[in-house]
Structure 1
Amino acid sequence: MGFGIAHREEPAYSEFGLRVEQVQVGRSDAQVLVPVVDGRDLFGDVVPVKGIGRDPDDLLGRHGPLLPTEWPHPPPTTLLWRCDCGVEGCGFASARIEHDRFNNDYDHVVWTDFTLHCLGDAEPPRELRFRTRQYIAEIVRLHADRTWETELRRTAREVATALDGDPAILGQWDCALRWAKPHERAGQVSVLVTDGSAEYSTRYDGAAGAAEIISRLRATDPRESAERTYSRPG
């Protein structure tokens, strides 16, 4: 009798999708990213309390937490959905996202270890598997398709992209970017930077455009013009 390697049966796959929705968060309108599995809102169709997705650029943007990690790196917990109050710690849904090559037989992305925190009595999925090619293609599609993006959001994204691409812009002030976000109601772009000991927030006129905001950050230490400062515990 031989002792060959047992054949592993190909797992069942779901179809991965993403869509952007316009919602009300507090007093402001916001755009959120909704994960869609086999044509259904993954959380909105099953969670008994009202919730919303996360900001698209929190998931699609600079660090891409929807992109799977690969062994031997442990998959981090990724926040995917939240209470409609907008406070992510109030109630949320999360999962771990990793790349599983299945001994090179099958190539897929797996979402597992789901957590539903303060979102009622819904039963979270046990595990979801997506073909890697289809999964990555969907993320790339929505990241490239910015037809849903407002002008102010585009300005904030261009500011973040420029600062990421040239760390010396803020580095000359011994600072680094935390994020750049739009404030639609005020028509402003908020830029949060850190020098390691504190965080500094400044709002810029969004109508001025990304190039003008970057020019100001090149010329002036953002800590000097900060409207708010948040100390970081040592």
Structure 2
Amino acid sequence: MKDEHSRITIRVSVPDAELSGTGTVETHIVVDGRPIVAEAFTEGSAEQPEYLLGPDRRLHADVEAHEVRLAEADCTEGCCGALYVTIERRGDEVIWRDWRNPDEPGLDLPALRFGAAQYDAEIIRAENDHSWEWTDRSVARLLRTRLSEQPDLLGRWDCHPGWVEARPNEPGRVFVSYFYPQRPGAADLWLQFVAVIALPTGDPEIVAAQVVRLLTDTNPRRQQWLAGGSDEAAQAFGFDWPVPR
């Protein structure tokens, strides 16, 4: 009997920053040999692996359906849209259905059905495959994990970790964001800091530990790393505003 299920393959692509001039790492989703995200959405890049394959496990299929953003317009979703799909597990099948682009109300893409065993195996393989990473990106991943698992590292300074990244077009550096004294969205005042840290050469585990010490052994709330918030918050917490560019 012919298998009517599609097969999913996931690959991560790292651009040649010298040729492309950009630093976007993309998660390419291929179904039965076709790059379905690239075919369905041309206004921007596919989501990065840290978003789709990271600890939030966004591509995992559960009985309770959930929606996942697979790509976003280069100019932001609010301007030119994004590509969403709903993922659901039904018995021994995983179904991708109800494709959506907020900028294209008439989007009509067929549902995809995968054998759950093949789907699960490929998602787990992709989540654990870090062979595409270069050293800076490995350091960023290790930092992100450490700051997430040990919130007291920045918490001792009343700071809360945000995003951490390394960019193909800015080699030898890692960017670490964090908020003080709370994340945006709260009624009270807040500031965002982005530490831009030059990385020494060496084993990513050792380098990540060195960066953690740099961030946490002394007060990380530094004027040169102030990146966002408001004039009111800056004045209240003793910083200069506007943020230097």
For normalisation by structure 2, the TM-score amounts to 0.74
Matches within 5 A, 1:113-132: 113-118=98-103, 123-132=107-116
- Report the Cα distance in structure 1 between the residues aligned to 2:191 and 2:68, rounded to whole angstroms: 25
What is the alpha-carbon distance in structure 2 between the residues aligned to residue 88 and residue 152 of structure 1?
28
Aligned AA for 1:229? Answer: G
Aligned CA distance change for structure 1 residues 229 and 52 (closer, same or farther; 3 Å) = closer
Deviation string 1:67-103 (CA, Å, 9 cap, x unpaired) is: 23433xx52x3110233x36444332111222323xx
Report if the CA contact (8 A) 1:200-1:223 is conserved.
yes
Give me the whole-angstrom Cα distance separating, in 2, the residues matched to 1:86 and 1:221: 35
Per the alignment, residue 164 of structure 1 pairs with: 148
Question: Once the two structures are superposed, what CA deviation does each residue of 1:132-166 show, in whole Å capped at 9, x if it has no partner?
Answer: 22112112212222221111111100100111221
Q: What are the within-5 Å matches in structure 2 for residues 90-129 of structure 1? A: 90-101=80-91, 107-118=92-103, 123-129=107-113
Separation of aligned partners in 2, 1:86 and 1:33: 19
**CA distance in structure 2 between the aligned counterparts of 1:200 and 1:36, rounded to whole angstroms:** 37
Q: 1:66 aligns with which of 47, 59, 67?
A: 59
Give the equivalent residue in structure 1 for 2:38: 44
C-alpha distance in 2 between matches for 1:78 and 1:198: 29
Gaps of 5+ in 2: 184-189, 202-206, 231-245
Cα distance in 2, alignment partners of residues 179 and 210 from structure 1: 15
Give the structure-1-normalised TM-score.
0.77
Distance 1:70 1:221 in 2: 45
CA distance in 2 between counterparts of 1:15 and 1:86 reads 32
Task: Give the paired residue count.
Answer: 210
Q: Distance in 1 between matches of 2:58 and 2:117?
A: 17
Residues 98, 109 of structure 1: 8 Å contact kept: yes
The structure with the largest strand share of the pair is 1
> Is 1:34–1:52's contact at 8 Å kept on the other side of the alignment?
no
Sort the Cα spacing of 1:18 and 1:86 in 2 relative to 1 into closer, same or farther, 3 A.
Answer: farther
CA distance in structure 1 between the aligned counterparts of 2:56 and 2:75, rounded to whole angstroms: 21
RMSD of aligned alpha carbons: 2.7
Verify: 1:29 aligned to 2:23, yes or no: yes
AA paired with 1:192? S
Tell me the amino acid that sits aligned with residue 161 of structure 1. Answer: T
1:145 corresponds to which of 103, 115, 129 = 129
Q: What residue number does 2:235 align with?
A: none
State the secondary structure of the residue aligned to 1:152. helix
Which residue pairs with 2:227 in the alignment?
228
- Aligned-pair identity (%): 28
* Of 15, 22, 27, the match for 2:7: 15
